[in-house]
């Protein structure tokens, strides 16, 4: 009688979806240290040999992949587990601004304020789709703040997405102690080999930090486009760049409209029309 060889179960594949600068590479390095060299990771963007698809066409051989869903078209109903990473807006936009400068952006306070204002559009869309949605409640979501504050618990949660329960605490501890770090500042990404998980960025040390401006960043609700729409309709112009971040903290577009209708500029504009 011919013996049947046991069927080897394909290793689980997890699709990573992350807001930029939310610790995706740190988590990928921790997973590689935990699992060892058999853990194959694909960075998707510009990586040699990448299939260019999300989820990965080599799922099983590739265990974990990266995607930022920049254009908002990445499907959720892929049938594979999704590990989602997010971060508070203010520290993430500071980190992203440093990378923006590497592409030739202007390094001054006004440039940073406009960059932050514009980036909130993509940030809110990512949060709505991947962090606060019903779909997100069925997946694994890890914030950068939790990853840095308690890496052992965060890594345990991440391992559960790969079906690894219960994980090995000794291997978790060794990975956290040995993992490479990096510092992003002044247009540069500086590797910090084997430094372990380091403290989070202190935004008050950012060279363009301003308490009033960063107070707005923590309260943004509207996008630039939503603010400008009633300004165009009622005043025929964009909102002032100097006031944009403050206006983006307004609770609703309707509240922006009410503010414009009460303004001296709108009243004067109506008088001018009546005088014609």
CB neighbours (10 Å) of residue 99? 15
From the candidate CATH numbers 3.40.50.150, 3.40.50.300, 3.40.50.12780, 2.40.50.140, the one assigned to the domain spanning 14-203: 3.40.50.300
CATH 3.40.50.300 location in the chain? 14-203
pLDDT-based confidence at 67, cuts 50/70/90? very high
Query: In this predicted model, which residue has the larger pLDDT, 182 or 73?
Result: 73
* Distance (Å, whole) CA 195 – CA 149: 15
User: Of 182 and 151, which is predicted with more confidence?
Assistant: 151
Asked whether residue 265 carries a pLDDT value surpassing 60, the answer given is yes
For the cut 50, the answer to whether the pLDDT of residue 8 exceeds it is no
Q: Which two tokens stand for residue 31?
A: 């997973």
Q: Quote the percentage of the chain above a pLDDT of 70.
A: 90
Residue 185 is predicted with a pLDDT of 66
Q: Where do runs of H (alpha helix) occur along the chain?
A: 24-35, 89-102, 109-126, 144-149, 151-161, 169-178, 211-217, 224-235, 244-248, 253-261, 264-275
pTM over 0.85, yes/no: yes
Mean pLDDT score, 102-131: 97
d(CA 62, CA 41): 6
Using DSSP, state whether 267 is helix, strand or coil.
helix
Structure tokens at 95: 């980190």
What's the mean pLDDT when you consider all of the chain? 90
pLDDT band at residue 7 under the 50/70/90 scheme: very low
pLDDT of residue 44: 84
Number of continuous H segments (helices) and E segments (strands) in the chain: 11, 7
Q: Tell me the per-residue pLDDT of 193-212, one tens digit each, with 9 for 90 and over.
A: 767 787 778 999 999 999 99
Sign of CA dihedral 132, 20, 50, 35: negative
Q: How confident is the model at residue 186 (pLDDT cuts 50, 70, 90)?
A: low
pLDDT for 276 equals 41
More confident site: 125 or 9: 125
| Residue range 160-176: mean pLDDT, rounded | 93
What are 135-142's contacts with CB under 8 Å, separation 24+? Answer: 135/76, 136/84, 139/81, 139/82, 139/83, 139/84, 140/81, 140/82, 140/83, 140/84, 141/84, 141/85, 141/86, 142/23, 142/27, 142/83, 142/84, 142/85, 142/86
pLDDT tops 90 at residue 48: no
Work out the average pLDDT over 175-179.
Answer: 93
36, pLDDT greater than 80: yes
Highest mean pLDDT range out of 54-68, 176-190, 229-243? Answer: 229-243
pLDDT per residue over 133-161, tens digit each? 999 999 999 999 999 999 999 999 999 99
Contacts 24+ apart (CB under 8 A), 157-164: 158/27, 158/30, 158/31, 158/83, 159/31, 159/34, 161/14, 161/81, 161/82, 161/83, 162/12, 162/14, 162/31, 162/63, 162/81, 163/12
pLDDT above 90 (res 270): no
Q: What is the mean pLDDT of residues 228-253?
A: 97
* Pairing between β-strand 181-185 and β-strand 188-192 as defined by DSSP bridges: antiparallel
d(CA 156, CA 171): 11
Residue 275: pLDDT over 70: no
Asked if residue 217 has pLDDT above 50, the reply is yes
């Amino acid at each position: 009688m011919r013996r049947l060889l046991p069927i080897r179960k394909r290793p689980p594949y997890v699709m990573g979806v992350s807001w930029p600068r939310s610790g995706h590479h740190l988590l990928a390095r921790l997973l590689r240290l935990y699992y060892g060299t058999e853990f194959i990771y694909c960075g998707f963007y510009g990586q040699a040999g990448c299939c260019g698809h999300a989820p990965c066409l080599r799922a099983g051989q590739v265990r974990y992949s990266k995607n930022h869903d920049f254009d908002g078209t990445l499907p959720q109903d892929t049938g594979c587990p999704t590990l989602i990473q997010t971060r508070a807006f203010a520290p993430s936009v500071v980190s992203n601004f440093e990378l923006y400068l590497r592409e030739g952006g202007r390094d001054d306070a006004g440039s940073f304020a406009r960059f932050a204002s514009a980036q909130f559009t993509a940030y809110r869309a990512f949060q709505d789709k991947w962090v606060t949605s019903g779909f997100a409640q069925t997946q694994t979501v890890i914030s950068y703040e939790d990853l840095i504050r308690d890496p052992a618990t965060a890594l345990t949660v991440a391992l559960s997405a790969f079906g690894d329960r219960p994980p090995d605490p000794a291997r978790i501890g060794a990975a956290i102690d040995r993992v490479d770090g990096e510092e992003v500042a002044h247009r540069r990404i500086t590797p910090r080999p084997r430094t372990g998980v380091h403290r989070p960025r202190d935004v008050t040390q950012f060279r363009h930090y301003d308490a009033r401006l960063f107070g707005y960043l923590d309260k943004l609700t509207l996008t630039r486009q939503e603010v400008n729409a009633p300004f165009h309709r009622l005043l025929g112009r964009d909102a002032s760049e100097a006031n944009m971040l403050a206006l983006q903290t307004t609770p609703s577009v309707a509240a922006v409209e009410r503010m414009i209708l009460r303004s001296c500029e709108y009243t004067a504009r109506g008088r001018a029309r009546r005088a014609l």
